[in-house]
Structure 1
Amino acid sequence: MVGLQRRSATLVVMLATLMVVLDLGLVNIALPTLATALEVSESRAVWVATSYQLVCAASLLSFAALSHLMGQWRVFSCGLVLYTLGALGASLAMGLGWLLFWRVVQGLGGAAILSLGPSLYRKIFPHRLLGHAIGLNALVVAFGLASGPSLGGVVLSMASWHWIFALNVPVGLVAIWLAWRSLPYESWRRTGFDWPGALLSMLMMSGFLLAMERLGHGQSHTLIIGLAVLSLLAFAAFVWRQGRAPAPLVPLSLFAEPRFTSASVVTVLAFIAQGAAFVALPFLYQTLMNASPLQAALLFTPWPMALLISGPLAGRLADKYDPALLSAGGLVLFVIGMAGLAWLSSAGSAAYLLLPSLLCGLGYGFFQAPNNREIIGYAPLALSASASGVLASLRTFGQCQGSAMVALIMALPFGSVSLALWLAAAVALAALLVSVLRLSQPARVVAS
């Protein structure tokens, strides 16, 4: 794929990814407004965000596997249609029930998009430029993280909450048109679909996410333990099924490649640390340092803005140098930044936290793009969709673990934001150690 078609296909994946990444920032900041406008409690309004996250996370592996049957461009395009239709329906919803229904539709579309985005880059770009493509993806994610809450605040200051969802409709329509014109065509394949595996993966992810969500709201320990046990049993059954299914959702042969496995472990650990920081820092700024929501958003900006610079640069370098080395170097900066945030969290001034936040963003950008390149690049081309689904699932798992970790620590009698940040820094250090050990594993050249 060359020239105009490559540029158009790249734009499709970037637009689709941006829509999904922006979603949580836009919606989360609108939750108090939604609760007031729909005349419901804040705990019920939270389900506008939770329902989307739950359905999206539970469907990631299934959509990745479905692409082996239907072709990646069909599944991705259907995801765009579902997401755009869900956004339109949500923008027109007149009550919480209909809004939740359309958010579920959006979650299904978001799962198809997130599970196949990195894999499509593998088809759009030659293997020698894969790092550049993953770097572009990091740029889009960083921009979405940085602008989501601010854009949501601007929209709410000028219009009703309906426009939070309506914003994505024209973007989605443009992406759908470009997708049908530019994404690489694939014919239907005569292969099966692992329905038992899909059900188990949904039970595994939804049970885990519900347990984490209930933990964050201080619900009954019996319910939380029950959901956690359900998730663990589903995970064990899922692994057993994948080793025996004729067309598994996640071919276990992927994990026979040591660098793929190491990169996967590092992904989980790094996203736990980042997820914890993303929950702890707003609380630190607004509650302990008395910053307004707008001030807190501005104080948080250095992290994603630094990632906006380092991500694309690291992606380009990963095409020339060992991605594991770049990832390890990025994690060194990330660990220093996290330790700085934890150490200075009791300083009483947010200004002291700007430099550590900047280091976290720079380090995470240099870690994420090369590490993602290893996960996607070390998978055989025929299994790139499965690798992409694994990456999206690991990212979601890590972020939720990080959020739950902060909620659990804050519920303890001796819990504090500082303690949560120190623990996040320790998890980041564990990610660094695994990444350093990965350097001793042989690099394998994967044919494009």
Structure 2
Amino acid sequence: MDTDNSAELNDPAGTVAPGEGVAGEDCRHEGLPTPRRYLALAGVWLALIVSILDSSIANVALPTIARDLGTSPADSIAIVSAFQLGVVISLLPMSALGEIITYRRVFIGGLCIFTLASVGCVTSHDLTELVVARAIQGIGGAGIMSVNGALARFMHPPRLLGAALGANALIIAAFGALGPTIASVMLALGPWQWLFAINLPVGAVALALAWRTLPESPKADRQLDLLSIVLNIIAFAMLLSGVDLLTRNPSGLWGGAVLIGGVIAAVVLVNRCLSQSRPLVPIDLLRIRLVRLAALTSVSTFTAQTLTQVALPFYLQDGLHFNLVQIGLLMTPWPAGVALAAPLAGRLADRVSVEALIGCGLLVMATGLSSLLWLSPGMELTAIAIRMGVCGIGFGFFQSPNNRALLSSAPMHRSGAAAGLIAISRTTGQILGAMLVAIFFRLFGHVGQSAIGVSALMAVLAALLGFARKSSGSRTVN
């Protein structure tokens, strides 16, 4: 495997020797010994499972929660939005904090916050209390999500990094798909509070395993940039709020003003980061061509995925007249395809060209999306399910190799920033995909083949970005 010559981009003063991290830490490591590595993996996976489930199970429970708390369905959406906002505003600060106090401490701290906030969700008596608890849950979830990739670099030897990221992708895909089913079963057996109460025993076990087994990492000799964190919170909060207000009322001046305020905060933040050697927004990493291409590929792919998965149920129900049970069955092959392909892709990423895996995988995904343009009323469920499975398999061959390429292209001492960049690229794509669905509804009053066509084009763009790495002169760091 090639080695990276890009570390000097992150160390203009020449204070870090080639192949070294902070304080001269040698990057040529072999990860944790077994069986400690497996116990650490179990702790990370349990934390990922509860954080992924909590991002999806609440959607199913919204009608039940709204009735129980005596609030309107429209207002209950805040239960989901609060969690998402907590995650988005915290991803970059948490990854920066991980480089300063170690990734282990941020992961454990995030897991503690997430678990304690679950107690707040269980004991909430009104919508306001639940929304606040969900926002705090999102902050804790960001602590888990922002550094798990960085921890992987210290837990596993370089030759197994792709396989480890593939296993993480499998966990995320499998439990993301199972979330609605698990929520439905739990709601049938008990009150909605059970959805959050389950986090307590699982979180406690994950915390015990993480505390005993997660590896330490070097500490960066710098302070947390509080002004950048404030600007980050303002920018993301105002951008998301402004877009939401504009989709609800396109002619409203308030939404436009909030959006402009968010753009200004974002510009100020980026301008501040340009002059820093280790900024909150990882501009230093984005100067590395492989990192930049991997991040852009991720944004484009998750935009295509989210646009399809949000728009397609509306198209299947309103345009093709399938019932809810059929729609649920038809949406399942996508995550099933991801779960099938991701572990294999992760292992292959440790052995073969990642640009080929990513580019070819995304072309498969684009082919699957394009085939969805020819759906028609009365079409066999099996034919549609196969198309969805093809999309999932293509997506699975993108995710693990792309994450591995981005992490491996960053110097070891910037692993936290690289992991944060993976998370923020994914989240940005998901937000853009949801925004496009709202725009299609505003422009046309429905979503259908046009939305799927845009998804296919985004997948083709992502594939081109994947293949573009072939000509890159940058190399990767283990």
Which interval holds the TM-score relative to the shorter structure?
over 0.9
Residue aligned with 2:436, SS? helix
Q: Are 2:431 and 1:400 aligned?
A: yes
1:141 deviation in Å? 0.9
Normalising by structure 1, report the TM-score: 0.95
**Separation in 2 of the partners of 1:88 and 1:320?**
44
> Do 2:440 and 2:446's aligned partners in 1 also have CA atoms closer than 8 Å?
yes
More helix by percentage: 1
Q: Are 2:60 and 1:29 aligned?
A: yes
> Do 1:16 and 1:175's aligned partners in 2 also have CA atoms closer than 8 Å?
yes
> Do 1:260 and 1:375's aligned partners in 2 also have CA atoms closer than 8 Å?
yes
Q: 1:267 aligns with which of 289, 298, 302?
A: 298
**Separation in 2 of the partners of 1:97 and 1:405?**
29
Q: 1:106 aligns with which of 137, 140, 143?
A: 137
Partner residue in 2 for 1:444: 475
Q: Which amino acid aligns with 1:183?
A: L
Partner residue in 2 for 1:325: 356
Partner residue in 1 for 2:80: 49
Q: 1:127 aligns with which of 141, 158, 174?
A: 158
1:211 deviation in Å? 2.9
Deviates more, 1:117-126 or 1:242-251: 242-251
The 5 A counterparts of 1:166-315 are 166-186=197-217, 190-218=221-249, 220-245=251-276, 247-315=278-346
Deviates more, 1:150-159 or 1:331-340: 150-159
> Do 1:65 and 1:385's aligned partners in 2 also have CA atoms closer than 8 Å?
yes
**Separation in 2 of the partners of 1:190 and 1:331?**
40
> Do 1:269 and 1:431's aligned partners in 2 also have CA atoms closer than 8 Å?
yes
> Do 1:275 and 1:402's aligned partners in 2 also have CA atoms closer than 8 Å?
yes
The 5 A counterparts of 1:404-415 are 404-413=435-444, 415=446
Percent identical among aligned pairs is 35
What CA deviation, in whole Å up to 9, does each residue of 1:360-391 have, x standing for no partner? 00000001110111111111110010011111
Two-structure CA RMSD over aligned residues (Å): 1.8
> Do 2:37 and 2:213's aligned partners in 1 also have CA atoms closer than 8 Å?
yes
Residue aligned with 2:280, SS? coil
Q: Which amino acid aligns with 1:259?
A: L
Residue aligned with 1:88, SS? helix
1:215 deviation in Å? 4.2
Q: Are 2:457 and 1:431 aligned?
A: no
Could you say if the C-alpha distance between residues 285 and 160 of structure 1 is closer, same or farther in structure 2, counting changes exceeding 3 Å? farther
1:238 deviation in Å? 1.4
Structure 2: gaps spanning 5 or more residues: 1-31
Could you say if the C-alpha distance between residues 217 and 343 of structure 1 is closer, same or farther in structure 2, counting changes exceeding 3 Å? farther
Could you say if the C-alpha distance between residues 204 and 329 of structure 1 is closer, same or farther in structure 2, counting changes exceeding 3 Å? same
Could you say if the C-alpha distance between residues 428 and 258 of structure 1 is closer, same or farther in structure 2, counting changes exceeding 3 Å? same
Q: How many aligned positions are there?
A: 447
> Do 2:278 and 2:284's aligned partners in 1 also have CA atoms closer than 8 Å?
no
> Do 2:289 and 2:474's aligned partners in 1 also have CA atoms closer than 8 Å?
no
Partner residue in 2 for 1:62: 93
Q: Are 2:51 and 1:20 aligned?
A: yes
Structure 1: gaps spanning 5 or more residues: none
Residue aligned with 1:43, SS? helix
Partner residue in 1 for 2:40: 9
Q: Which amino acid aligns with 2:130?
A: L
1:440 deviation in Å? 1.6
1:289 deviation in Å? 3.9
Could you say if the C-alpha distance between residues 346 and 94 of structure 1 is closer, same or farther in structure 2, counting changes exceeding 3 Å? same
Could you say if the C-alpha distance between residues 100 and 60 of structure 1 is closer, same or farther in structure 2, counting changes exceeding 3 Å? same
1:296 deviation in Å? 2.2
Partner residue in 2 for 1:84: 115
> Do 1:410 and 1:417's aligned partners in 2 also have CA atoms closer than 8 Å?
no
Q: Are 2:370 and 1:339 aligned?
A: yes
> Do 2:405 and 2:476's aligned partners in 1 also have CA atoms closer than 8 Å?
no
Residue aligned with 1:3, SS? coil
> Do 2:55 and 2:80's aligned partners in 1 also have CA atoms closer than 8 Å?
yes
What CA deviation, in whole Å up to 9, does each residue of 1:386-445 have, x standing for no partner? 011111111111101001101111221375321111111111111112222222213514
Q: Are 2:398 and 1:367 aligned?
A: yes
1:213 deviation in Å? 3.0
Partner residue in 2 for 1:154: 185
What CA deviation, in whole Å up to 9, does each residue of 1:76-109 have, x standing for no partner? 1000001011112201212112111211210110
Q: Which amino acid aligns with 1:198?
A: I
Could you say if the C-alpha distance between residues 214 and 149 of structure 1 is closer, same or farther in structure 2, counting changes exceeding 3 Å? farther
What CA deviation, in whole Å up to 9, does each residue of 1:256-311 have, x standing for no partner? 22111111111110111001011012222333344444432222110001100100
**Separation in 1 of the partners of 2:445 and 2:136?**
41
Q: Which amino acid aligns with 1:352?
A: A
> Do 2:319 and 2:448's aligned partners in 1 also have CA atoms closer than 8 Å?
no
> Do 1:300 and 1:357's aligned partners in 2 also have CA atoms closer than 8 Å?
yes
**Separation in 2 of the partners of 1:358 and 1:262?**
26
> Do 2:335 and 2:392's aligned partners in 1 also have CA atoms closer than 8 Å?
yes
